[in-house]
A and B are shown apart, each in its own frame.
Chain A
Amino acid sequence: MSTPYYVSPEQIRQDKEDFVSRGIAQAKEVVVLEYREGLLMVAENPRKTTFKISEIYDRIALAAAGRIAEYEILRVAGIRESEIKGFRYYREDVTAKWLTNLYSQHMGAVAQAWDAKPLEIELLVCEVGTTDAPADSGLRNNQIYHIAFDGIYSEEEKYAVIGGRATAIIEILEQRYTDGLEMPAALQLITDTFRTIEADAEDDYEITPQTIEVACLEKTADRRKFRRLSTDEVTTLLS
């Protein structure tokens, strides 16, 4: 007769966390940073069609680090649920907070399932504020939610980073970030930070307009605030 064995919940949780952090440690970083006109999002990503930053809904974007296949399905589900909600009610009723809860529940359920592998991803759900909203409505403020693999999320301010060396990048941003940066200065700050990090790395990843992915959520844009910046545009902004 086989003996039933006991593993403590703490141990199960720790094992899963160790497993995921080994995966995430390999993931290149994505930085989201508030600038004067909205939110700027930059990732180390030389690919031209597989993105880490993408448009979800009018004022909402998603940034992800980790396994593409695992967050791609969440990206599309996010667009789908947002469009359904906006179609049912009104476009402004779709919020980053609501979407974050949806993702959080799903990721939490997968992480807790005894027979499933936790998702090896981290997400940033970002929403840009509006310029015309009443000051106390909450719509005026930018929102950034950081969701860990187990669905636990936190609200971030000013900037947020996901990926293997997120802690090191945050340490640099704590020193260098200032409020109200214009877009070129904000982009310069992020690329400089990436360069500092890469200088210590072994794999010699060069930061050029061709090797980064840049997008923004612009307060002043019409309904769809999300915009992907072309390599040419990034080159101009950095020159």
Chain B
Amino acid sequence: MLDLSDYGNSDFFQILKRRHPELLATLNSSDVASSVNVAEAAFRPYEGTTVLAVVYDAGVVMAGDRQATEGYQVGERRIQKIYPVDRHSAIAVAGAAGPCIEMAKLFQVEVEFYEKTEGISLSLEGQANFLAHLVRSNLGLAMQGLIVLPLFAGYDLKRQRGRIFKYDAVGGRYEEDDYYAIGSGGKDARTTLKKRHTPEITRQNALEIVAEALWDAADEDIATGGPDLIRKIFPTLYTVTEEGVTEVPEATVEELYRNLIARL
């Protein structure tokens, strides 16, 4: 039967929490036996990542490697860590793969649900704030070792520029002006970005330094995957501009890496 009781509620997360808490098992962490510490438990969740975002003159580039690790093993070689959210934003996730993917999916549905019911897009600032609530609601699991940390970026139509937001485990939201990288190889990627990023760089420059930063992260961090020329697996790169969210074609990414390798 059609349930009409949630009229006027544009918060999909809240509706699910009330009507279908079973679908939010990991993000409703009070349900999970709080004494279990997953880090010490018998299984190891998939994790390990470098994801980053770089502001350039027309918007922002988001990128991530493709590897998920299971302890010291490679768990998955082709995982996606960047997800388009709406026409002008995308989310990247680092941490335990399962809850990460769930959070990205829920966040995307939330933003689209708001847009369709209200008839107008949720502002970039509004999206960034809502994501802070989602991270905060995962705190229980984070305490048990299943941390999820997103990096959020988008094109702000009002301010006419790309913007980047980073989060801490308790839901703190902080804005970065030029670039940021998170995950196990985040610090290595940030070092490269710090040296190579200049204000008002072009799209081509931005793609080049993003490829280089991910290369350096993979070089230093065992949990970050580099370009796999044999299997043809390359990092995913997205651009977010006034025109929308676009994935950089695999051939372009391959070319970026071939040029980078030629320079080494």
Q: Which residues of B contact A105 (CB under 8 A)?
A: 1-2
Q: Name B2's contact: one of A54, A88, A103 (CB within 8 Å).
A: A103
> Can you name 17 extra interface pairs (CB under 8 A) apart from A77-B3, A81-B3, A105-B2?
A49-B119, A54-B119, A55-B116, A56-B116, A76-B7, A77-B2, A79-B117, A81-B2, A83-B12, A83-B112, A84-B15, A84-B16, A84-B23, A87-B16, A87-B23, A102-B2, A105-B1
Q: Which residues of B contact A81 (CB under 8 A)?
A: 2-3
In the assembled complex, the CB of B105 is this many whole angstroms from the nearest CB of chain A, namely: 7
In the assembled complex, the CB of B234 is this many whole angstroms from the nearest CB of chain A, namely: 22
**A73 within 8 Å of B by Cβ?**
yes
Q: Whole-angstrom distance between the alpha carbons of A74 and B4 in the complex?
A: 8
Q: Whole-angstrom distance between the alpha carbons of A76 and B12 in the complex?
A: 12
**B96 within 8 Å of A by Cβ?**
no
Contact status A79-B113, CB under 8 Å: yes
Contact status A87-B15, CB under 8 Å: no
Contact status A106-B109, CB under 8 Å: no
Q: Whole-angstrom distance between the alpha carbons of A105 and B106 in the complex?
A: 29
Q: Name A83's contact: one of B2, B4, B109, B119 (CB within 8 Å).
A: B109
Residues of B near any A CB (own CB < 8 A) = 1-4, 6-7, 12, 15-16, 19-20, 23, 105-106, 109, 112-113, 116-117, 119
Contact status B116-A84, CB under 8 Å: no
Q: Name A87's contact: one of B3, B4, B105 (CB within 8 Å).
A: B105
In the assembled complex, the CB of B4 is this many whole angstroms from the nearest CB of chain A, namely: 5
Q: Which residues of A contact B119 (CB under 8 A)?
A: 49, 51, 54
**A80 within 8 Å of B by Cβ?**
yes
Contact status A106-B2, CB under 8 Å: yes
Residue of B nearest to A101 (CB): B2
Q: Which residues of A contact B19 (CB under 8 A)?
A: 84
As a 0/1 sequence over residues 54 to 92 of chain A, the CB contacts with chain B under 8 angstroms (1 = contact) are 111000000000000000011011011101101110000
Given contacts A87-B23, A87-B105, A102-B2, contact A76 B16 (CB under 8 A): no
Total number of A-B contacts with CB less than 8 angstroms?
52
Q: Which residues of B contact A88 (CB under 8 A)?
A: 20, 23
In the assembled complex, the CB of B106 is this many whole angstroms from the nearest CB of chain A, namely: 7
Q: Whole-angstrom distance between the alpha carbons of A146 and B153 in the complex?
A: 42
In the assembled complex, the CB of A20 is this many whole angstroms from the nearest CB of chain B, namely: 19
- The 6 nearest A-B residue pairs measured at CB: A106-B2, A79-B116, A76-B117, A102-B2, A73-B7, A77-B2
Q: Which residues of A contact B15 (CB under 8 A)?
A: 80, 84
Residue of B nearest to A107 (CB): B2
Q: Which residues of B contact A49 (CB under 8 A)?
A: 119
Contact status A84-B2, CB under 8 Å: no
A and B contact pairs by CB, cutoff 8 A, 17 listed: A49-B119, A51-B119, A54-B119, A74-B2, A77-B6, A79-B116, A79-B117, A80-B3, A80-B6, A80-B117, A83-B12, A83-B109, A83-B113, A84-B15, A87-B105, A103-B2, A105-B1
As a 0/1 sequence over residues 35 to 66 of chain A, the CB contacts with chain B under 8 angstroms (1 = contact) are 00000000000000101001110000000000
Q: Which residues of A contact B109 (CB under 8 A)?
A: 83, 86-87
Residue of B nearest to A57 (CB): B116
Q: Name A73's contact: one of B4, B16, B112 (CB within 8 Å).
A: B4
With a 10 A CB-CB cut-off, give which of A74, A79, A106, A109 has the most chain B CB atoms: A79
Q: Whole-angstrom distance between the alpha carbons of A73 and B1 in the complex?
A: 14
Given contacts A87-B23, A88-B23, A106-B1, contact A77 B105 (CB under 8 A): no
Q: Which residues of B contact A76 (CB under 8 A)?
A: 7, 117
Q: Whole-angstrom distance between the alpha carbons of A86 and B108 in the complex?
A: 12
Q: Which residues of B contact A55 (CB under 8 A)?
A: 116
In the assembled complex, the CB of A214 is this many whole angstroms from the nearest CB of chain B, namely: 16
Residue of A nearest to B8 (CB): A76
Q: Which residues of B contact A109 (CB under 8 A)?
A: 1
Q: Which residues of A contact B2 (CB under 8 A)?
A: 74, 77, 81, 102-103, 105-106
In the assembled complex, the CB of B152 is this many whole angstroms from the nearest CB of chain A, namely: 20
